[in-house]
Structure 1
Amino acid sequence: MSQGKEFEVDKQICMHYEDDRNRFNGAVVPPIFQNTVFTYQTFSELTDAVKTEKYHYVYGRGTNPTVEIVEEKLAALERGEECKTFGSGMAAISAAIINSVESGDHVLCVSNLYYSTMELLKYLGKFNVSHSVVYSTNTEEISQAIQSNTKVIFLESPTDLTYRLLDLAAISKLAKENGIRTIIDNTWATPLFQKPIPHGIDIVVHSASKYLGGHSDVLGGVLITSYKIMKSLFEKEYLLMGAAMPPSEAALLLRGLRTLPLRMQSHQENALKVAAYLESHPKVAKVNFPGLESHPDFLLGKKQLTGYSGLMSIELTEADYCGVERVINKLTAFKIGVSWGSFESLVLSPNLRNNEGQLLKEHISPGTIRLAVGLEDVNVLIHDLEKALCD
């Protein structure tokens, strides 16, 4: 997709927004405030700061100047009011969900979600928080899955592994009509290619370990929302649970944001070429990538997305563990490993040999292979896939 004026605005946010060079003696890169404690001239000043710790530097578990710069950039990129960073993506997801539910509430999961998100929801069952999954991207079917005690609709768009798109504006409208909060994991698209908040979504979360960091050396999470939601979330799920992002990680994340626009354009360019090649291969039954015109949600994507990242999946014609293992083990440019969204190309499969029945229940083909297309020469990546898919 072509990027217009909004993308140029986002580039400026990534590179310069809130860097406040005058504050730091003209430093091009802000300093890392590695300290955990901030002191005050008088005890009364400290006590006043503690009362409103969200707006004052008191202790590293709360606010930090280095971390704050990253948070300001990310809030601006998502067109949200406030952002908090966390020690991991799951810490951000946990904070978002726990802030949104009480005992007796229900969470509706839309289609396929990240495995650890589902494990968290299962764990919350011990606190009498239930959940269910509607394996559909159709808004009417989502509506029919709402229960009387549903308080949260949690979604990913594109969905995990299947990469279907959801109509964010329609789901947001549905949720508001029923007094339900919406939470989206927007890691796949990044704030550059999709902005859920203008569509009415209440909370956006990211794994900063993926595209935002971009170098496989940052572990972190991001949560962007309104002033109102953040007010209670900061005092409880953020401060009390203590999963703050360290300033050293924030500095690496800040570095990653500087090149995010350039990296995402390269990921997109490579992924479109890889997906087009795979779509024509006889050993590939299906390519799940929203950038293909053959994708069932391509037109919705033209409305909601301004670009495509590098994560996709294929479904082999030989849809079993042996077929999956054979292809993955032949790959050399694509490295076998978890995670995605960095400079390197990675490959993985949800087929773990003994879970094919569960995959089918989740509407996932046992022949699914996930490909994270990195920044290498795309011809090298395509040649690698060609060798792996041959007999």
Structure 2
Amino acid sequence: MKLNTMLVHYNEERKKNQGAVVAPIYQNSLFTFDSWDSIDKAFDDPFINSIYTRGNNPTVALVEKKIAKLAGGESAKLFASGMSAISSGILHFLKYGDHVITIKNVYGPTNNFFNTYLKEKMNVETTFISGENIEDFEKNIRKNTTLIYLESPSSAIFSLQNIEEVVALAKKYNIKTIIDNTWATPFFQQPLQMGIDLEIHSCSKYFGGHSDLIAGVIIGKEIDIRDIFHKEHAFLGGKIAPFEAWLIQRSLRTMSYRMKIHEENALLIGAFLENHPKIKKVMHPGLKSFPQYELGKKQMNGYSGLFAFEINSDNLDKIKSFVNSLKYFSIGVSWGGHESLIYAPAISYLKELPLEQFKNMGISIGTMRVSIGLEDPEDLIEDLKNALNNI
């Protein structure tokens, strides 16, 4: 099956569901059995058998198989949120006293998880680097380094890491690798095919696409996903509800078409902004002005709708006036939905990170992150043009 055919038909099993073109929601907490022997047999492999929805559920399992197929992984496990997937994946590869290498512009809550929770609870030390060259990674490897955590493109400034080089280095030192691939999605970047151990997504973003669900997923080899299922997923209880899984199933059918529109709109708007006199710079890996443009072309085959730009002003009142006067860009923290959003990352980072770490992130109060939705791009450009007149 080609990609779009797979997203519509793979693992649907309509004959088993009385021909229903949309698979049913198994909105139940437990599954009953007709005999002692049948439930006893189910417990032989709860990873594939439905016993209790906290562990396995047919609606959830259908979507997990489809996502694993999309990403080129052997197996996938859905979670209640992106952060639940992130923390579970990280914990899976760590033990007390380990060392982690990650990038300084990693997602804020992930940064906090490394910098505070793991440090305080597990004596795990984390080294934050730019990640823009392989030497950064190698010189920071220690005897107790067990994990390299990537996010390419990164949060806020959208810098890239050379995934194939990092994987080769990690294998040389027997270090595990995880990547948050939410920005690119499997349509535009396939980290598992480059040798990454675990790929993580916030399904609240493009997998959902309609700003109406919260979920996360880990994808990888079945041996790792099975182990996560029996440990982190089971012990921490971060299960996704069947209804949220069903919503993801709905969204997967249109995801490739949505991603094309997000990409086209964002490139048009990025090009407009980088030629505007009141914009200092635009941070979009798909623009030729981006410092790592060639690396992006090498390891991605497209670009999503999220990027940042910096207003050429440090006047907070004028910056606020720009944001507040936008008509089609709503102010909000998430992204990847049908609607266009704008947000100043400095607002949350200043509350989440130590001041010194914030200063090293390369963002300012004038750095604006925009999620370009599915609206007509001419309307969005006109909206930005009018708002920029207030600066």
Class of the TM-score when normalised by the shorter of the 2 chains: over 0.9
| Count of matched residue positions in the alignment of Structure 1 and Structure 2 | 384
For 1:78-108, what per-residue CA distance to the aligned partner results, in whole angstroms no more than 9, with x for missing partners?
1001000000000100110011100010111
**Partner residue, 1:33:** 26
Structure 2 CA distance for aligned equivalents of residues 357 and 380 of structure 1: 39
Q: How does 1:164-179 map to 2 (within 5 A)?
A: 164-179=159-174
Confirm or deny that 1:314 pairs with 2:314: no
Question: 4+ residue runs of structure 1 moved beyond 6 angstroms?
Answer: none
TM-score (norm 1): 0.95
Whether 2:380 is the aligned partner of 1:376: answer no
Which residue is 2:126 aligned to? 131
Which range moves more in the overlay, 42-51 or 275-284? 42-51
Query: What does residue range 214-225 of structure 1 map to in structure 2 within 5 Å?
Result: 214-225=209-220
Give the aligned partner of residue 13 of structure 2: 20
Distance in 1 of aligned mates of 2:356 and 2:167: 33
Helix, strand or coil for the counterpart of 1:233?
A: helix
Cα displacement (A) at 1:358: 4.6
Q: Please name the residue that 1:72 is paired with.
A: 65
The offset of 1:360, in angstroms, is 2.1
Query: Percent same amino acid among aligned pairs?
Result: 43
Shift of 1:321: 3.8
Give the counterpart of 1:190 among 185, 191, 207. Answer: 185
8 A Cα contact 1:89 1:207, kept in partner: yes
CA distance in 1, matches of 2:356, 2:142: 27
Q: Which runs of 5+ in 1 are unaligned?
A: 1-7
Q: How does 1:1-391 map to 2 (within 5 A)?
A: 9-121=2-114, 122-126=116-120, 127-319=122-314, 321-352=316-347, 355=350, 358-390=357-389, 391=391
**AA matched with 2:227:** S
Q: Structure 2: how far apart are the matches of 1:205 and 1:353?
A: 22
Partner SS, residue 240 of structure 1 = helix
Return closer, same or farther for 1:348/1:144 CA change in 2, 3 Å cut-off. same
1:154 touches 1:184 (CA, 8 Å); kept in 2? Answer: yes
String of CA shifts for 1:213-248, please: whole Å, max 9, x gaps. Answer: 000111100100111212211101011211111111
SS of 1:23 mapped into structure 2: helix
Deviation at 1:23, TM superposition (A): 1.7
Aligned mates of 1:233, 1:352 — CA distance in 2: 34
Q: CA deviation at 1:181?
A: 0.6
Q: CA RMSD in A?
A: 1.6
Q: Distance in 1 between matches of 2:221 and 2:31?
A: 27
Letter in 2 for 1:370: R
Aligned mates of 1:319, 1:142 — CA distance in 2: 34
Could you tell me whether the CA contact under 8 Å between 2:218 and 2:225 is conserved in 1? no
Deviations 1:255-289 (A, max 9, x none): 11111011000101100100000000111111000
Q: Give the C-alpha shift of residue 324 in structure 1.
A: 3.1
* Residues 367 and 52 (structure 1), Cα distance of their counterparts in 2 relative to 1, 3 Å cut: same
Measure, in 2, the Cα distance between the counterparts of 1:136 and 1:168.
10
Deviations 1:335-378 (A, max 9, x none): 01110000000000022399476532222233210000001111
Shift of 1:330: 1.7
Kindly provide the amino acid, as one letter, of the partner of residue 375 in structure 1.
L
Q: State the alpha-carbon separation in 2 of the partners of residues 117 and 257 from structure 1.
A: 26
Does the C-alpha gap of structure 1 residues 119 and 160 become closer, same or farther in structure 2, counting only changes over 3 Å? same
